[in-house]
Amino acid sequence: MSNTVNDMSIAVDCLYSIANFTNSTLVRKTTINECRFSRLAGSLLLIISIISFIINVRSLPINNRNYCLPRRDIGLVIGMCASSLCVIIISVPSVVVQCFLCRRLCIPLICRIEGFNSFFNGCFTMYMLVALSIVRYATTANSSMSIKFQRRIEKYSWHFVAICFIMGGIWAVPP
């Protein structure tokens, strides 16, 4: 029975993390079921990415003439869409390829680009959500300070995006 499982195995990793006497080739093997699951996950990721890409492009305020966003929100929306599109365009393709090949792509440059892109856009998105919550709080609060802050937000809305970009870079560039 165990002979059948070994015959149905294919190489997965470029370099097995632990070298031992039972695996002298340093290549990990995977079963057909693991490969099928990997391909299913790759298919789902590809479908979700295509749908997300279409939704992001169609929902940009530049393309949507019927619904006009308030001036204070345009920068935040464009920043979030750009961050999402960067992840879809840069990180997703190599992950989908790895899922369909049932093995890792062992190119250090690709790993570094994906890691930086994912971490930077995760931090950027987190700070954008903080900025969005600040804007939402200012618009729902009924005080004279809130009204003054709303006027400043409308005037300097792109500053929020720049601050979020810089804060994301502060966390992502050093590693």
Q: Which of 62-76, 94-108, 133-147 has the highest mean pLDDT?
A: 94-108
pLDDT number for residue 5: 44
Is residue 96 within 8 A of residue 49, CB to CB? The reply is yes
pLDDT number for residue 18: 45
Give the CA angle between residues 108, 110, 114 to the nearest 5°: 120
The fold of the 32-172 domain, in CATH, is Rhopdopsin 7-helix transmembrane proteins (1.20.1070)
User: Assign residue 26 a region: left if phi > 0, alpha if psi is -120 to 50, beta otherwise?
Assistant: left
pLDDT number for residue 66: 58
Q: Which of 16-30, 134-148, 154-168 has the highest mean pLDDT?
A: 154-168
Mean pLDDT of the region 146-164 = 80
Query: Residue 25 pLDDT more than 80?
Result: no
Query: Residue 100 pLDDT more than 70?
Result: yes
DSSP state, residue 68? P
